[in-house]
Chains A and B, each alone.
Chain A
């Protein structure tokens, strides 16, 4: 009995889930008979089984719901209220099932409220179903033979009575009670008889039942019998039930040919296969040593079969992500009703498969996030209309595979995250100081919603804000090695991006060695690998005994894995300053740190096996695995390491502060500069963005033709130029010569330098302007006075025709030079761009600010084109463009925006302000190209 009940529970809960989804679909598409038939069938099966197992409450509820659905099937109009009521009924069914699972018996209680409503609705529907429908409904038996057969079949006389009494079905309750009480008067609630009857019958029934069922087939459906003949009717009911089952079976079969297998069996299979793979590997290793082994052929086959078997078993663990989404349409529907918002939920990629273990973990976070989007993300319909958005808010859920991961996106087109509100909330809950917030970008501030103890909901609604916040979502996702991120644009909506591994059972891991022992580091948490050595480049430094690594502009705390694991350093392991070590840059949540190891070998797909209970309390390991060579190694848990870092000392806080400062400065106008020396000792620099490549050229390859040094480079001759104060003789007898290659279209130029010193990212302030041609000025870079080289000065030196190139605007058909106004507050850019634009054939006028440019307009000067920076002190580029937009004189002049920030909203804004085009500040070719396009457009227009 227990097994049977268990099976019933599993099956019914599943069916109800399907009904949930189908109903919502049905509500939207009430004419789809197929969906309805499916729902009907499912509810009917539930009802039937309930009757069979003696579960009157469930049976009665299902029956009432079924009756209403029967009306829909017969053509009654489908109403939202009706569907809601059925959904409520399904919820009630689920509640009862829950208790049933625990207590093994139905809870005592009454469902009259729902049943009455359902019945009333059925009656109402019936009335609404108009006259032609009413007549056959009264004589139900004729209505639909199959259905009637089913209906009558499983609940036995009860149903029949109900049918007879139509439309007064309210009496069902009384009848049922009377019926239930008849066999066991002193029993409360559930009738003991069917129960006992069943268990005694059980063993004997099958063959007999089949036989009887067959016999029963031609027998007309028993009808119009009184409940008094209970035992007989019940018997027949049972037979009919079997018959019904048999009838239902072939219907199901072609759709879904599956069997239930316990997870345990699958896990066991998985273990066995892993073992098989290992044995195979060992065999292959052995045979490899003997070249002409007769085992080779069969072993190859074994190998292939094993691989396929492994794949197959892995597949059994995979489930479509749609399983986790199943409840969402229902949730969104209910939400949409309770919040009075119309919401459109779109689900893309439901068939994307992932490991069931992973699926379990992300189910709740996903539900929570969709709920959040519906509740907080989307505006009320009326507000949306006012904002000019489509009235119905849309939530799109999509999933797809990408590089061994699953990407899940939850997109809403709602109000977006208000960074200001979040900021205020962060301040009030003291999660960060004002100072810290000032240094953060909008995106960083928005990410505070993942912070523990943060909830933007103004008030706690029934829907969300119940204490389970996004931080829990994040924790859950990170627990399985996933990440969650968000992009939000105020007024446009929010996108959450979740990345999770396909499976937890097999992960890609980096095999490393420390103190002579190997460990696996899951690749998901590895950001990059850095080789640290004493010389320039990456160097491990110490702050009060805390090792740190400077990586680009971040200061990363370092952890020596051997120390964390309490291992002695291996003999070849040098001390931090002199040794060469591998640093695994690891990210856990918002924390980035480096793990220092002795060696890094390779990556390997490893089968994760749980740690023994005895070792489980070691937080540094997340599991262990068997490598291809048969040895067991531990899998490092980056979370555990991260915790120990955080707990390590106050140094961490200092490092974090410092990192924040460094990061904050990054966002200022930073320029990446290539620092080199050439000729004199003082360092020189060019913006790295101008340099195409760094090359080392063999000195013997340099040819001197016509007083010029040339070198064959990529199949072409490339001229080499020297800085003005550079003496080629000083090159000496170095065999190789470093050269900076600048390329513009198909012209390349090599600038000969002595040594490339460094690449630095720094805020560029030209402190001393220069009058020397070829030098823009001097700036302090890395605490040293550095000359900034004007590349534009050297271009004509390489090619006499550099100024006669096709991108000159008057490249033949246009004779006059176009007048161009360049507005930029940075003298560096003015100085860099002016010669460039000049060389492209424009007559360039410079203005250092919007005000200055406007004063040119006052003076009646006109230009053919304007190029303006966006970020300027005082009047910024956007304001400048807006001023010009409707100006009688300059209003028609094409204006091009120049900016170092390529964020979509800025581009959007600049377009709105009247800019024709938008070009990145360092995109020289793009600028010239854009100018040409704009010019072509002008010509065509005129």
Chain B
């Protein structure tokens, strides 16, 4: 809470973001929404589920529903042998895991400097991207966690 009120002299309030890499694109997730980061092992595929749901797994006694972020973003499936990672998110007392390729750094970013989504962004991305931040080397897509997890809507739209 206090973080949000902490004022940087020049660029306004800072917010912390966990960055993740999905298909070489950098994404940012608000750190207060991320509960943990874990390796994706022993996942059970759920028959008849929508393709975005990668499966379910047991994370310390809790059943976590894993969302395949590549599917969610309409990207091709991963071909690496490396164990995928997931970012744990809690919503409505349920546990979800966003399946990503790799985890990046935690960044402090001034929220006043965020840019709106460009108009030509893929509608699927647009529906989950909150804003864009221009890092020196690349662009960071800030994800809206609630919208990422709102799979019903996407289906209706599609």
Contact = CB atoms under 8 A, between A and B. Distances in A.
A544 interface: no
B49 A633 contact: no
Interface stretch (B11-19, B53-61, B133-141): B53-61
A566 B42 CA distance: 21
B47 A565 contact: yes
B42 A618 contact: no
Interface in B20-77: 42, 44-50, 53, 56-58, 60-63, 65
Interface in A617-643: 618, 620-621, 624, 626, 630-634
Contact of A632 (B44, B49, B50, B96): B44
Nearest to A607: B61
B48 A631 contact: no
B151 interface: yes
B83 interface: no
Given A278-B61, A626-B63, A615 B42 contact: no
Contacts of B49: 614-615, 618
Contacts of A618: 46-49
Contacts, number: 67
Interface string B68-98: 0000000000000000000000001010100
A565 B49 CA distance: 10
B48 A612 contact: no
A634 B63 contact: no
Contact of B56 (A272, A278, A566, A632): A632
Contacts of A633: 44
Contacts of A615: 46, 49, 53, 56, 65
A631 B44 contact: yes
Given A275-B62, A613-B94, A624-B63, A632 B57 contact: yes
Contacts of A591: none
A293 interface: no
A609 B56 CA distance: 12
A274 interface: yes
A567 B47 contact: yes
A345 B155 CA distance: 55
Which secondary structure characterizes the binding site on chain A? mixed
Contacts of B63: 609, 612, 624, 626, 632
A620 B47 CA distance: 9
Contact of B92 (A276, A613, A620, A631): A613
Contacts of B96: 612
Interface residue range, chain A: 20 to 34
Given A613-B92, A615-B53, A620 B48 contact: yes
Contacts of B44: 517, 631-634
Interface string B94-105: 101000000000
B47 A517 contact: yes
A131 to B, nearest CB: 68
Given A566-B48, A615-B49, A271 B61 contact: yes
A279 interface: yes
B42 A631 contact: yes
B65 A279 contact: no
Nearest to A277: B61
Given A615-B53, A624-B56, A624-B63, A630 B47 contact: no
A267 to B, nearest CB: 10
A566 B47 contact: yes
Nearest to B60: A275
Given A614-B53, A626-B58, A634 B94 contact: no
Give the most central of B45, B56, B92: most A CB within 10 Å: B56
A719 B65 CA distance: 69
A348 B61 CA distance: 40
Question: In this complex, which of B48, B50, B65 has the most chain A Cβ atoms within 10 angstroms of its Cβ?
Answer: B48
A276 B44 CA distance: 21
Given A612-B94, A613-B94, A615-B53, A626 B61 contact: yes
Given A614-B151, A615-B49, A615-B53, A630 B65 contact: no
Contacts of A612: 56, 63, 65, 94, 96
A634 B43 CA distance: 12
Interface in A254-274: 271-272, 274
16 contacts: A566-B48, A567-B47, A609-B63, A612-B65, A612-B94, A614-B50, A614-B149, A614-B152, A618-B46, A618-B47, A626-B58, A631-B42, A631-B58, A632-B63, A634-B44, A634-B47
Given A275-B61, A615-B46, A634-B44, 20 more contacts: A272-B61, A274-B61, A275-B60, A275-B62, A276-B61, A517-B47, A566-B47, A566-B48, A567-B47, A612-B94, A614-B53, A614-B65, A614-B151, A615-B53, A615-B56, A618-B49, A620-B47, A624-B63, A630-B42, A631-B58
